[in-house]
Every structure is written in C-alpha cells, then in structure tokens.
A and B are shown apart, each in its own frame.
Chain A
Amino acid sequence: MRESTIAAISTPQGAGGIAVIRISGDKAIEVADRVFVSFSGKKLVDLEGYRALYGNIVFEDEILDECVALVFRAPKSFTGENVVELCCHGGNLVTKLVLRAVLSSGAEAAEAGEFTRRAFLNGKMNIAEAESIMNLISAQSKSALRAANNVRRGAVSKKIYALCERLEFTAAHLSAWADFPEEDIPEVNEENLRKTLTETLAELDFLMKNYDAGKAITQGVPTAILGKPNVGKSTLMNLLSGFDKSIVTDIPGTTRDVVEETVVLGEIILRLSDTAGIRDTDNVVEKIGVDRAKEKISESQLLLAVFDSSNELDDEDKKIIEEIGDTPAVAVINKSDLESKIDTAFIESHFEQVVYISAKLGSGKDELISAVTKATGSENFSASAVLLAGERQRAAAENARDCVSSAISALDMGFSLDAVTIDIENALYKLYELVGKNVSEEIVDKVFHTFCVGK
C-alpha cells in the first residue's frame, strides 16, 4: 500500500495574507523541486528536514509567485511522510495556480481529511487526536474552536487515561485477590470499590453531558421551522439570517447530499434543513401540514414553532403542537406589535421557551438567542472542560459508563466480585477504545468513514 503523493491548499480559502500549499508523500520533495526555483540555486532534495529555501514558483516558464519552501523529512512531519509546505502570497487565483502547478508535476489532489488520515495511519496521532483535528477544521464558533483545541492537546486522552488508571488498579487488585488466594492478599474494600466506581460514573456522566450540551455549539443542531403558512416563518428566517450571513455553506464530510443552510445564533449553530420546503406554502390542506410537521420533527433536534399572535390558534396549530412531543422546541410568536388574539397561556403551557418577535420593530433577537441556548441545553456547556470529539467517542464513553453502572448494580444486588471485575474490565476495554488503544473492526470502519480510506 504505497501511498501516492498528495497536495492541497492548507490555509482557508479567501484573500488572506499568506497561503500554504502542503505536499505530502514519498515524492513530495521531488514534486516541489519541479515547481520551485530557489534564489540560491539549491535544490530542496539536498535539504535536511526542518530547513527552508526562498525562491520562485515557476510553471511553464512563468513565475507565479515568490515563496518560502519548508522541507520536512519522514517521519518527522505532520503526516509522518516527506512533506513540503510552499508558503506563498495569498489570493485565490495565485494560490490555485500554484496548486495546479503542483498537481501537474506529479502530485494528486488530497481528499478531505487525507493529511490527517495519513498522520493517523503513520502513528503520528491516536484516533482521539485525529478526530479533534477534524473538529478543529470544521469549528465554526469561538467556543467550538476552544473546545476542539482542548482535545487536540490531548485533554480527552489524559482524562480517559486517568480514569483507566484507577479502574486498572482496582481490576488488578481484584484479579490478584482471586488468583492468589494463598498469598493473603487483602480483601478488596467494598466501600472503596464503590467509591471508585461511583466517581468514575460521575466523571463519565459529566463528559457525556458536556458533549451533549456543547453539541449545538461545536457541531450544530438540526433545526426545523414549523408553522402554518403566513404565520411569519419568513420573518423568522430574515431575523435569523441577520445574525451571520457569511455562513451559508454545504458541510463537507457529511454523507448527505442535502444542502443545509447554517446559521450561527450567538454561539449556537442551527442547521436549517430543507428550508425551501418550509417556504413552500401552496395549498396546504390540514392533513398534509401535520404530516409534514411529523416528518420534520423526526429529523430535527430543535424545533422553532412559529405562531401568528394576531390570530387565534386553530386546529392545525394545535395538531402541530401535539406532534412536537419530547423534541426541544421554542415557540416563536410573531407580529407581537399587533393586538394579541392568541391564547398565550395555552402556548406557554406547552413550551418552556416562548419568544415574541416583531419584524416591524426588529425585536426579539436577544430573546431568541437566550431561548435557543436554553432549549438546546447549551447554557450548561463548559468550553474549558474536557470535551469528547464526536459521536464515536461519546458512544464509547456511554458504553463504558454502562459497564461501570452495571458493576455498581452488581454490587448492590449482591453479585460475586468476579462479575464486578468483568464489568470493570469491560469498562476499561471501552475506554481503551475511546482513546484508540484498542482497535476493533467498528473503530476502523469509523476511520474508513471519516477519513475516506480505501479510495
């Protein structure tokens, strides 16, 4: 499985002051030499690692840009392969031309996340770190960035290893006690055992809760806007898009082809799916309206239900309210500048969060931020605490938590300690999986999935 040499623009697209084109692979240095002409006349292949040359990018006899070329030699590079970083002047066109030159000289275009994948496969980082880098790349708010950086520095691994250490000690004691009955090894103190397990449980609970609380901030929350035609959904849309117009993108790395509209509300990322459908208000008979509401509810983790305060609630409104169920929701009452005919008591009895907005007055923005933060649980999020990176880690933490919880209930129910030991070992197994110390097929499948491996 000899890897090809790949290249990509590694700095954000747009007019920055500087742009970096990264080339990685066996032939990275040779490829760079084909487009880079140093002022000193030296070749990059003659350089040791961690050295740089200053010169021009020349392609088809034309000077494209001045550039500093940095050489990293395997394995001492980000990917663990030979790497050259060409630091050029920014600018969309110039950067793209330089990349094109590199791609014409023997490199292939890198897939999304491919540098990170190679770094992982070459043992430069464990799975947890790789995942956090992916998060870092896609971070869209300051809190998200801080959290992702936290993971990047190995905070999750450190935390998990600390939990492992206590459980390992306990498991080792239990094993020694069972395996060496003739050695008068002290009994395992049940109170201490219970304390260790309870504390571990609490720590894992916190990790999961903080992850869940931060999800709307770090990853965004799938959101649907519900409501009858003409209640003011477009008013809400206008209000939302007033927050941050720049972030309307298709999200890379998701398998879905649906183009999502992403809106950052305070610190929270709302992923509004299929908004065109919501705006489509032709001839909605009651039944279809409810059916569509059902569908949206099942796809979303946050609902914004819009009502027109100038009209009384009708059956269709009420059916929509009924369908919402347990999904976190905010009631958005529009036209609050007009005389209110709506039964606000009824709405407040069904929604914990109710916001009044008015397009005319332009009011309700801050209230909406606050309501959405509360509805998504994001107010409890601590960006400085250790944060799990991604669903895989959360699932592993949850599995470990379940094992610890099973150990505690085994103790409570009076099971023998061999059963408790097995629960503790299973918890450890899951925690090792979380930090990538253990590789099961599932993990590798996830790696395949996240890093487009196998192409």
Chain B
Amino acid sequence: MKYIAGNYDVAVIGAGHAGIEAALASARLGVKTVIFTINMDAVGNCPCNPSIGGTAKGHLVREIDALGGEMGKTADKAILQMRMLNLGKGPAVHSLRGQIDRRKYQDIMKHKLELTENLELRQAEIVSVEKTEDGFILESRTHAQYITKKVIIATGTYLGGRIFIGDVSYEGGPDGMFAATELTKSLVNLGLPLRRFKTGTPARVLRSSIDFSDLEAQQGDEPPQHFSFETEGDLENKVVCHISWTNENTKKVILDNIHLSPLYSGMIEGVGPRYCPSLEDKIMRFKDKERHQLFIEPCGLDTEEMYLQGMSSSLPEGVQSAFYKTIKGLENAVIMRPAYAIEYDCVDPTSMKATLEFKDIKGLYGAGQFNGSSGYEEAAAQGLVAGINAARAVKGDNEFILERSGSYIGTLIDDLVTKGSNEPYRMMTSRSEYRLLLRQDNADERLTPSGYDIGLISEERWQKYLKKTELKAKELKRLKSTTLSPTEELNNILVSRETSPVASGVTLYDLLKRPQLSYKDLAEVDKDRPELEPIIIEQLQTEIKYEGYISKQKDRIEQVRRMSEKKLPEDIDYREIAGLRLEAQEKLNKIKPLSIDQASRISGVSPADISVLIIWLSSKKGGK
C-alpha cells in the first residue's frame, strides 16, 4: 500500500561520499533534507581502498574542507597513518594521503548525519523518480512516497550494479550489498543519457597469513599533518604499511588464465579506468614490465583485514588465490574477501550544468560515480557542490559555480560537464593548468571566503581564518623589511646549503627566493621571528620561491578570464551559425557552453570553430 512518508526540500538518493556531503550542505543551509541509503550499515562506506586523499585527491579533500564540507574532518578523526606524497617533487604536487579506519570513518559520518538539524537519514531503496509540476515524487521499494522540490542522485556503483569474479556474475552492489535494480528504468524514462562503467577492487587478506619479515615497511610522516583546517591538536600514526612486488611467476599465472577474465572474454561491456587498472590489465598492456608494486594496508584497528593496493582483479577466485600466493610475503595468504569487478549505470555528465543540475530537468542533480567520476574524494566534491546548489535553488539564491582557475573542484566539474569522460574520471594534478596556484596548502585562502559567504563556515572558524591571513601578511611584510648583514654566520649557512654567500646586506625575503634555502635554515640568523603555524610558513615559503611562476599563472588566468567573459547565450541554435562544422554544431548544441572559454575546451570544437564563434559574437554585439 502506497503512503506519503514525508515532504522535503531536497532529497538525496545514496549515502556514500557524494550523498553525505550533498545532504549535510543542504541541511546546513537550512532547507529540509532527506538522505536515503539502501542499507543503514553502508553509510559512508569505503568499499575500495581504506584511505582518503592521494595525488590531487588530497587537494580535493582540503578544498572540500575549506568550503565547509565534512570529509577532511572525519578522515582526521579516523586516521591511522598520514603521509604527504611527492615531497621533493615540488609544492604544486604535494598531496596528503591518509590511511583510515574505515569502520570508524563510517560510524562518525553516519552519526554526523543523524545529529544534523534539518536532516533525516532513512533506509530505503528508491525505485522511481517522478517529475511533478513543481518538484518530484520519489517512491521506495516498500511503497513509501516522498514529495520533494529537488533531487540529488548519488547512487555510486549501486545503480544497476553487477559483480564479476571470473566466469561468475550476478546482480550486486559493492561489498556484498544488494544493487539498486529498479531506479535505472525510471531515470531512462526521465530522458537521462545512461551508460555502463566498470571499476574493481582487490582482495582483502588475513593479516596473520602475511609474512611481513622481508617486506619494506612504510611509516607515516612525523608529525602527521591534518586534512582539515579545523582539526586542532596532533594526530597520531597508528599503523605501518608494507610494500611488495609481483614477479615472473605472478605474470605467468595471470597470462595462463587470462581467457578466464570477464574483461578479456567480453562479458564486461562497461568502460573501466585506465589509471586504476586490474593487475591483469597492467600485465597485458605493459608486457615488458617485469614487476608491479603493491601496498599492503590495514583496513582498521579492530580488524585483521588487509587491503592489497594495486592488485585489483576480476579473475576467478581460484586464479586470484594462486597469483596472490606468488607474491613475496603472501605465499600463505588467506583471502577473506575476493577481488571483484563491478559494472554500474551512470550518466553522461555533459547533460549537466556546472551546478550539477541536469540541463533538461530542472531540480534534478547528480553527483559522484553516477556522474562518471571515480574515487571517494571526487564524489564528495561533487556532492558538496550539488548540495549547495540544490539548497540555494530552494531558497531562490543564485547558482554557485566554482571557477576552473580557482580550484580542483572547479576543474573536475568543468571537465565533466564540458568534456565528458569515456572512462571513470579521476582527478590528477596534471589536469589543472593552474596547479602552482591551486595548492593543497592554500585551499583555505582560495575557498574559505566563498564557504563563509554561502554559510557553511562557522563564525568561529572565519575569525580563525582572518587571524591566520593577518599573521601571514604581517610575516611577509617582516620578511621583506628585515635585512641581514653579510656575517660569517649567515654565509656559513648559505655555503652549507650549497648556495652562494652574500657580500652585502640582504633581506630575508630575497634569501628565501633561493630554492636551496628554507625558512627553517635561517632560524639562527633570524632571531626575531614570531611563532607561527607550520602551514603559514609553508605557504609563505612557496609563494616567495615560486613568485615568478605564480605571477605567470595569474597572467594566464587573466587571459582566460577575458575569453570567459565572452558569454554565449543559452538559447542559440548553433545550426544557424554558418561556418561552424557539423560536428561542432552538434557538440555546441549538446553542451550549450556558457562562454567562449568553455566552448574552446569541448572536444570536437576546433580553433577555427572558435574563431567563427568569436566573430559571430562580435558581429552580433555590433548590431549587425
């Protein structure tokens, strides 16, 4: 029997990383929000790696936090080991990565949802989304109907999920959950362009069955940094990870059994990511490579399950067991959960605006893996933006769009809605042309003012932020105005750092421009320095050293800004602009770019097409 179960402003389907940020942002902005999970025990699950962050993903976590999102704070609380990746490769690519206790992470997130005002967490499988005149009616498998103004779809890999382990295949979601099998039909009826993607995860093995004695150990950083700008106090590294390698025997087992892989037998039709491939993929594609690295990571403090990063597979369980045993340390490994591939339904994100609202269905939003991305952090980032926009739309506020030049989140969303993706989209530092500006250390400077304006940053945190920026500005001034004499003490330091000594007075600022010198190196000759948070020092050092690069990147942003100020009307029919090639007309009509700048990033739109658009725009403005 159908019944009306509630009336909401915003409804979020799915309580993974995207859904959580969406629901929290929406509720915190004061609109009545409901979030549905298919299983109350799967809220905020990490069905793949037990870690948050990593290259470029660490940037996303800091940005989410700077805007007032939850991921960073919770990761800090559930932290097992923290490392800053890419130290030595330069500040643009420094990325924080934390091993987390996945159960603890889930519990904290679920509890946060439960405690948040304006928010209801409900266990329900939504089977249909029906458009009404001023909103939607959602229906659960158990015939509950929810009336809502806005809907955010964040179904992850649950939507139409199908598991593959060798020749075994069945309907299913991640981590043995059941799949959402009904909703797809309803979304297709709404006209959403759905497609199939695939991803996978390695096996979890029993800790006591692993021989760590000959494996290289990987420790966390001391002291560990934290993701959240709000986290106070020191974090603690509680676990050690280990590194091992595959070998000739591993390769042989896989090549002997490759015909049993559903990927190579053609059973899987979904498109998988190139950069997170299964081991059999890596071996098939890079046949010359003799060995592949793997990391053995604990899943939590209260579990003996160990995650084998880099060893994802969809080979039959028997083959998995055989090839894992060829690896040093895993000779007697006991598989607790086998590796599997999962295929799922997702949408072509070019059907969305940069607010993550569907162009053709007002009030309907998408976020996370449903939008064709991959990764917890990418999902959370989109969830946050979709949640903010849905809530603002309810309140009649204007759209919230992050610039590509201002954040990785903006870059991620711009890539998705402009270029689309033929495989699950993963964030990488190389995707941002502004990466010396968009560093993880200055995420707060870039985004916290926006977070405060929106209403997701508390007054207390805002004051703390203002204080920090003030201290930083003051210290910068001091560095510029403090001149050191060419003493022997100073020159000894300079020579010991392999940089040339000075013959006359020099400012601290000019000294810090030298790549060889750190702020710390000058401590003995800079006696009046104030006590400052490490993050302020890090920011100052980077900004002084890379000043030339930073100003070049700013110039380029300025150039691009001029192109993005050339706005394209939303109601153009590009077929009517002569001179555009047919392919360009079709792509432009599909994407409906907001500006010439966005149009120039659409694949299939050539420079000549852009020239035509610019000329068309200027002749239109000229009243001709």
Binding site for B on A (CB under 8 A): 1-3, 120-123, 126-127, 175, 177-184, 406, 413-419, 422, 425-426, 436-441, 443-444, 447-448, 453-454
List residues of chain B with CB within 8 A of the CB of A454.
615, 618-619, 622
Q: How far is the CB of A144 from chain B (nearest CB, A)?
A: 27
List residues of chain B with CB within 8 A of the CB of A175.
428-430
Contact with A along B494-517 (1 / 0, CB 8 A): 000000000000000000001110
- Decide yes or no: A441 and B614 within 8 Å by CB, A121-B579, A175-B429 being known contacts: yes
Q: Which residue on chain A has the smallest CB distance to residue B614?
A: A444
Known: A3-B579, A121-B608, A179-B56. 7 other contacts (CB 8 A): A127-B607, A182-B310, A414-B516, A415-B515, A439-B600, A441-B562, A453-B615
Q: How far is the CB of B585 from chain A (nearest CB, A)?
A: 13
List residues of chain A with CB within 8 A of the CB of B92.
418-419, 422
- Decide yes or no: A413 and B90 within 8 Å by CB, A175-B429, A418-B436, A425-B433 being known contacts: no
- In the complex, are the beta carbons of A419 and B549 less than 8 A apart? yes
Q: How far is the CB of A435 from chain B (nearest CB, A)?
A: 9
CA distance A444 to B515 in the complex (A): 39
- Decide yes or no: A178 and B430 within 8 Å by CB, A3-B578, A121-B611 being known contacts: yes
State the interface size on chain B (CB cutoff 8 A): 54
Q: How far is the CB of A16 from chain B (nearest CB, A)?
A: 33
Q: Which residue on chain A has the smallest CB distance to residue B282?
A: A183
B400 interfacial by beta-carbon distance below 8 Å? no
List residues of chain A with CB within 8 A of the CB of B566.
441
In the complex, chain B residues 415-444 whose Cβ is within 8 Å of any chain A Cβ: 428-430, 433, 435-436
**Which of the candidate stretches B28-36, B81-89, B104-112, B375-383 sits at the interface with the other chain?**
B81-89
In the complex, chain B residues 581-624 whose Cβ is within 8 Å of any chain A Cβ: 581, 600, 606-612, 614-616, 618-619, 622
List residues of chain A with CB within 8 A of the CB of B275.
180
Q: Which residue on chain A has the smallest CB distance to residue B596?
A: A441
Nearest first, the 9 A-B pairs at minimum CB distance are A418-B90, A416-B90, A175-B430, A439-B607, A418-B92, A178-B93, A414-B515, A179-B428, A123-B608
List residues of chain A with CB within 8 A of the CB of B609.
123
Q: How far is the CB of A401 from chain B (nearest CB, A)?
A: 15
CA distance A111 to B424 in the complex (A): 50
Q: Give 16 A-B contacts (CB < 8 Å), ordered by A residue.
A: A1-B579, A1-B615, A120-B608, A175-B428, A175-B430, A177-B89, A181-B55, A184-B293, A415-B545, A416-B88, A422-B435, A422-B553, A426-B556, A443-B611, A454-B618, A454-B619
Q: How far is the CB of A56 from chain B (nearest CB, A)?
A: 33
CA distance A251 to B611 in the complex (A): 27
- In the complex, are the beta carbons of A413 and B515 less than 8 A apart? yes
B309 interfacial by beta-carbon distance below 8 Å? yes
- In the complex, are the beta carbons of A1 and B607 less than 8 A apart? no
Q: Which residue on chain B has the smallest CB distance to residue A121?
A: B579
Q: How far is the CB of B610 from chain A (nearest CB, A)?
A: 5
List residues of chain A with CB within 8 A of the CB of B89.
177-178, 416-418
B192 interfacial by beta-carbon distance below 8 Å? no
List residues of chain B with CB within 8 A of the CB of A180.
55, 275
Taking a contact as CB atoms closer than 8 A, the residue among B548, B559, B577 that contacts A440 in the complex is B559
CA distance A57 to B556 in the complex (A): 56
- In the complex, are the beta carbons of A123 and B581 less than 8 A apart? yes
Q: How far is the CB of A80 from chain B (nearest CB, A)?
A: 9
List residues of chain A with CB within 8 A of the CB of B430.
175, 178-179
List residues of chain B with CB within 8 A of the CB of A437.
607
Taking a contact as CB atoms closer than 8 A, the residue among A126, A179, A406, A453 that contacts B429 in the complex is A179
CA distance A122 to B609 in the complex (A): 8
- In the complex, are the beta carbons of B619 and A1 less than 8 A apart? yes
List residues of chain A with CB within 8 A of the CB of B212.
none
B195 interfacial by beta-carbon distance below 8 Å? no
- In the complex, are the beta carbons of B86 and A181 less than 8 A apart? yes
B563 interfacial by beta-carbon distance below 8 Å? yes
Q: Which residue on chain A has the smallest CB distance to residue B88?
A: A416
List residues of chain A with CB within 8 A of the CB of B428.
175, 179
- In the complex, are the beta carbons of A440 and B563 less than 8 A apart? yes
List residues of chain A with CB within 8 A of the CB of B548.
406
CA distance A205 to B559 in the complex (A): 26
- In the complex, are the beta carbons of B433 and A419 less than 8 A apart? no
CA distance A448 to B611 in the complex (A): 9
List residues of chain B with CB within 8 A of the CB of A127.
607
- In the complex, are the beta carbons of B515 and A178 less than 8 A apart? no
B575 interfacial by beta-carbon distance below 8 Å? no
List residues of chain B with CB within 8 A of the CB of A177.
89
Q: How far is the CB of B397 from chain A (nearest CB, A)?
A: 32
B465 interfacial by beta-carbon distance below 8 Å? no
List residues of chain A with CB within 8 A of the CB of B295.
182
- Decide yes or no: A123 and B606 within 8 Å by CB, A1-B616, A181-B85, A441-B563 being known contacts: yes
Most-contacted residue by chain B among A126, A417, A418, A453 (CB, 10 A): A418
List residues of chain A with CB within 8 A of the CB of B238.
none
B552 interfacial by beta-carbon distance below 8 Å? yes
Q: How far is the CB of B351 from chain A (nearest CB, A)?
A: 26
CA distance A417 to B86 in the complex (A): 11
- In the complex, are the beta carbons of B546 and A419 less than 8 A apart? yes
Q: How far is the CB of B408 from chain A (nearest CB, A)?
A: 12
- In the complex, are the beta carbons of A178 and B86 less than 8 A apart? yes
B91 interfacial by beta-carbon distance below 8 Å? yes
Contact with A along B456-470 (1 / 0, CB 8 A): 000000000000000
Taking a contact as CB atoms closer than 8 A, the residue among B515, B556, B616 that contacts A416 in the complex is B515
CA distance A122 to B611 in the complex (A): 10
List residues of chain B with CB within 8 A of the CB of A439.
600, 607, 610-611, 614
- In the complex, are the beta carbons of A426 and B579 less than 8 A apart? no
In the complex, chain B residues 73-102 whose Cβ is within 8 Å of any chain A Cβ: 85-86, 88-93
- In the complex, are the beta carbons of A122 and B615 less than 8 A apart? no
Q: How far is the CB of A184 from chain B (nearest CB, A)?
A: 5
Q: Which residue on chain B has the smallest CB distance to residue A124?
A: B608
List residues of chain A with CB within 8 A of the CB of B546.
415, 419
Most-contacted residue by chain B among A1, A177, A454 (CB, 10 A): A1
Q: How far is the CB of A190 from chain B (nearest CB, A)?
A: 13
- In the complex, are the beta carbons of B577 and A1 less than 8 A apart? yes
- In the complex, are the beta carbons of A182 and B309 less than 8 A apart? yes
Q: How far is the CB of A437 from chain B (nearest CB, A)?
A: 6
Q: How far is the CB of A83 from chain B (nearest CB, A)?
A: 16
Most-contacted residue by chain A among B86, B293, B577, B611 (CB, 10 A): B611
Q: How far is the CB of A34 from chain B (nearest CB, A)?
A: 23
Q: Which residue on chain B has the smallest CB distance to residue A436?
A: B607
CA distance A126 to B90 in the complex (A): 37
- In the complex, are the beta carbons of B615 and A121 less than 8 A apart? yes
Q: How far is the CB of A122 from chain B (nearest CB, A)?
A: 6
Q: Which residue on chain A has the smallest CB distance to residue B515?
A: A414
Q: How far is the CB of B438 from chain A (nearest CB, A)?
A: 12
Q: How far is the CB of B430 from chain A (nearest CB, A)?
A: 4
CA distance A205 to B577 in the complex (A): 41
Q: How far is the CB of A348 from chain B (nearest CB, A)?
A: 43
Contact with A along B561-572 (1 / 0, CB 8 A): 011001000000
CA distance A436 to B54 in the complex (A): 36
List residues of chain A with CB within 8 A of the CB of B310.
182-183
Q: How far is the CB of B50 from chain A (nearest CB, A)?
A: 14
Q: How far is the CB of B214 from chain A (nearest CB, A)?
A: 18
Taking a contact as CB atoms closer than 8 A, the residue among A120, A181, A414, A418 that contacts B611 in the complex is A120
